[in-house]
Chain A
Amino acid sequence: MTARKSPPHKHARAIKIMPGAYPVFSHKTAMRLLQLLRDPEVQETAARAIVDKAEELRIAVLAHVGRMEAAARSADLVTTFEQAHEIRGLAGNAGLVATGRIANGLCKYLDAIERAECASDRELVVLHLEAIARAARAEDEATRLGDAVANELAALVDKKLAEINDSARPRPGHGVRA
């Protein structure tokens, strides 16, 4: 048998506490819950509850879109990001799939630039904000056009993220002490 490499760091002393040594669901409750979780009728009722909520969520998404646009107009990037994040979280369950995908792309991008501590590409942000607003307000949001826009923007974001990663990578000769 080959020996495993020794770790380079100090080993942590860990105590393992097994289920039962701490309180868990009683056997009876666990069995009943599992039965319900796997019951097709229960699953259908739950799935219907999500569908029934879609219109309410769509209205909520539109309210967030309005707040996001207002924040962007006053160059408030933090609020813009917060609102885009809210849209990303709600849009999928509101049936606004393309809107959710575009908001997700914007959130990914804003998160990456915040972590890399670099300035945002204003054009890219504006492009996303306009696309989110248009998609959310379109009657036929779930069309191939919405999908195409989401795909194009996702490709743009990927390109930008690659640029951010490249610039964060140490260049040869940099950071090496003589």
Chain B
Amino acid sequence: MSGATFDHLKALIVEDNVHMRTLLRSLLAALGINHVYEAADGADALATLRDKAPDMILTDLSMKPVDGIAFTRSVRLSHDSPNPYVPIIMITGHTERHKVEAARDAGVTEFLAKPITAQGLFLRIAEIVERPRAYVRCASYFGPDRRRRADDNYAGPWRRHEDLAKDLELK
């Protein structure tokens, strides 16, 4: 199976550390993804996104001047975003809860903590390929559905308009 390549599949790596960029590139190459574009920060990445239309994005969080969260928000919300639905995997050493939540609320599809493992990255890619998530648009958010599982025992809080309908039905 190895040795196969994807001629049409394109990936964008957004990472300010050149060593990490080459590491990620080699992991994608192992998968046969050879059309890999690189950007050193979110601003560069937005330009590349317009030019190259990648099928997936791997981004770091801490970058200057535009970090991974601001970049993700631009991809999802900017009126001239070329593809607001592109899957975004955030790969970062920041594992503090508030950072992870900020990334999720910006519209990141998957989150991967450093150090990078091949298994960790491949699992995230498999997730976006095998189980693409619905997107949710509301006044305060656009991005992949943040409710990843349907839980029959979930007791709230109920924030969405359609939840209110369910809520009233049950009363």
Contact = CB atoms under 8 A, between A and B. Distances in A.
A56 interface: yes
Contacts of B149: none
Interface stretch (A107-115, A118-126, A129-137): A107-115
Interface in A18-42: 18-19, 22-25, 29-30, 32-39, 41-42
A34 B96 contact: no
B4 interface: yes
Q: Give the interface SS of chain A, mostly helix, strand, loop or mixed.
A: helix
A33 B93 contact: no
Interface residues of B, number: 63
Contacts of A49: 23, 26-27, 29-30, 118
Interface in B33-56: 55
B1 A25 contact: no
B4 A60 contact: no
Interface string B1-13: 1101010110000
Nearest to B4: A36
Contacts of B122: 37-38, 43, 46
Interface string A73-113: 00000000010011011111100000010001001100100
Nearest to A100: B115
Given A7-B157, A49-B30, A50-B117, A15 B6 contact: no
A4 B158 contact: yes
B158 A12 contact: no
A36 B159 contact: no
> Which of B6, B23, B117 has most A Cβ within 10 Å?
B23
Contacts of B26: 46, 49, 52-53
Interface residues of A, number: 58
Interface in B43-93: 55, 60, 62, 83, 85, 92-93
B159 A7 contact: yes
A89 B20 contact: yes
B155 A12 contact: no
Contact of B133 (A7, A19, A36, A37): A19
Contacts of B98: 115
B93 to A, nearest CB: 4
Contacts of A47: 117-119
A66 to B, nearest CB: 16
B160 interface: yes
> Which of B1, B6, B170 has most A Cβ within 10 Å?
B1
A1 B55 contact: no
A85 B60 CA distance: 12
Given A82-B62, A89-B20, A92-B115, 4 more contacts: A29-B6, A41-B1, A46-B122, A88-B93
Q: Which 3 pairs from chain A and chain B are nearest by CB?
A: A92-B115, A46-B118, A89-B93
Interface of A: 1, 3-7, 9, 11-19, 22-25, 29-30, 32-39, 41-43, 45-47, 49-50, 52-53, 56-57, 60, 82, 85-86, 88-93, 100, 104, 107-108, 111, 115
19 contacts: A6-B167, A9-B159, A16-B135, A16-B136, A17-B137, A25-B132, A29-B8, A33-B129, A36-B4, A41-B2, A46-B30, A52-B26, A85-B62, A85-B93, A89-B17, A91-B115, A93-B23, A111-B96, A115-B98
